[in-house]
Amino acid sequence: MAKKIINLLILLPLGVILIVFCVANRQSVTLAFNPFRPDDQVLAVSAPLFVFLFIALISGMLIGSAATWFSQGKHRKRARTEAKEAIRWQSEADRHKTRAEEIAGQLPSR
């Protein structure tokens, strides 16, 4: 319940701000990829300003998350190897426990 309220308090104002931002930046701008001839229409794209800003934001988030994912690869690999080792140790402990119970069952009772 608290998570829903926090999400509502954060996401609702953020959504309103983004809608106002999109409405305020509806004018069409041209993004030219040829720095020597910016009037060249072959290497130019026209769209509203907020489209370019959203594309930049989304691509930055994707590049940042990919960089984080690759940089944390060694930690994920270590966690996998340690999980396998923990499973191996647990199975060995279970084997020793069953063996000890068998030996205890074979001992004469007092």
Contacts of 34 (CB under 8 A, 6+ apart): 40, 42, 43, 44
Which of 87, 72, 27, 25 is closest to 50 using CA atoms?
25
* pLDDT, tens digit (0-9, with 9 covering 90-100), for 52-84: 988 998 999 999 999 999 999 999 999 999 999
Cβ-contact 45, 31 below 8 angstroms:
yes
Torsion sign across C-alpha atoms 28, 34, 36, 40:
negative
For the stretch 2-51, pLDDT in tens is 888 888 888 889 889 988 988 888 888 888 888 888 788 888 899 998 89
Contact between 73 and 54 (Cβ < 8 Å): no
